[in-house]
Structure 1
């Protein structure tokens, strides 16, 4: 995990208990709060391999990044969420002989969610379905390896995103979140500007974070 992301999350976790402890003394309720923001970190782990043509096979390593989301609650159970990576997932590209290059990925998505149980419950599971796009950039190749001497390009991936998670109430306004997102879709893969196949990653993104509802 990148050190600046780790320190940022630890800092958030350090100050959050003071904030929600003060809030808890108000004996308020989560019911009727229409907006929420969540900051956290996530691990993106590809579930598919990337193929070039019929002979060369490439695989992407997992990577982590900071994430942010903002939600509008239509009511206590239905929400519309905008979610994305606040920093980029830096994936290592591996070939048969080791590292072949690297590529950065930055997904963002819009989805509808259903939150189970009453708003003031300690544990509130939720599910969601939406649409995402994942931009790829900073493609590089190693001086020696499967892609040596070639220019790598990966087109933006687009498709459906499914979400499942749970919120743990810390106070009427603060909560902790853990979620899993599955991003389904592929994109064109280029070498020296020519389409040579499909980049099919279909990552599972596992995240944790701290949220505020107001």
Structure 2
């Protein structure tokens, strides 16, 4: 949670900077009518649940990774977004006795979004709903047993805000909640479900064209 607190401070800094930058860089151009946008950023992911696997209560640490997204705007307010982690998130698996293993995850998602207010408004909140999959890999246990976690699949909800710097560039902050129950196998035998339901907090810089 400390890393998420640090990212939250970065978000506040972005919120303070973007309106001033927009005022200094205003032009006769307009963001209205631009149909494509790309965003590069960084997100921190933190599980909201601690699943019980094989009769043992586990605690999975969060992780961070760079992210990329591409959006197609049907009009100024409605968009379809493809989003995903550009690298794997390394996560420790712990119990009451300490670390017992590790796993990498890499989520990708497709969602529909609604962006409030006009395209040239400095502060533009948005919400979204879609579907995600998270690929788990490099599962290891200190005991030497073979751990396997199926891909997580389910619904994803998004809330965020775009801060227009000028008609082309904008800063973004978002929060995403993902829900899924992938099976967990130990030496090929199912022993539970990894219902982590992570929340990600991200910041990024985007361009529309």
Q: Give the structure-1-normalised TM-score.
A: 0.85
Deviation of 1:25 (Å)? 6.4
Aligned match for 2:184, one of 184, 189, 195:
189
Alignment map for 1:47-86 (pairs within 5 Å): 47-53=48-54, 55-86=55-86
Distance across 2 between alignment mates of 1:56 and 1:82: 36
Q: Give the structure-2-normalised TM-score.
A: 0.87
Distance across 1 between alignment mates of 2:25 and 2:73: 21
Aligned match for 1:205, one of 180, 183, 200:
200
Deviation of 1:50 (Å)? 2.4
Q: Work out whether 1:132 is the aligned partner of 2:132.
A: yes
Deviation of 1:116 (Å)? 0.1
Equivalenced residue count is: 191
Match of 2:167 in 1: 172
Distance across 2 between alignment mates of 1:124 and 1:25: 16
Task: Output one character per residue of 1:32-79: Cα deviation in whole Å (capped at 9) or x when no partner.
Answer: 0000000000000000112213x2121100110000000000000000
Q: Is the 8 A contact 2:149 2:194 kept in 1?
A: yes
Match of 2:156 in 1: 161
Q: Work out whether 1:46 is the aligned partner of 2:41.
A: no
Q: Is the 8 A contact 2:79 2:112 kept in 1?
A: yes
Which stretches of structure 1, 4 residues or longer, exceed 3 Å deviation after superposition?
23-26
Task: Output one character per residue of 1:123-170: Cα deviation in whole Å (capped at 9) or x when no partner.
Answer: 00000000000000011112xxxxx13111110000000000000000
Match of 1:30 in 2: 31
Q: Is the 8 A contact 1:24 1:172 kept in 2?
A: no
Deviation of 1:26 (Å)? 4.7
RMSD: 1.9
Aligned partner of residue 167 in structure 2, secondary structure: coil
> 1:179/1:25 Cα in 2 relative to 1: closer, same or farther (>3 Å)?
closer
Q: Structure 1 regions of 5+ residues with no counterpart?
A: 2-12, 143-147
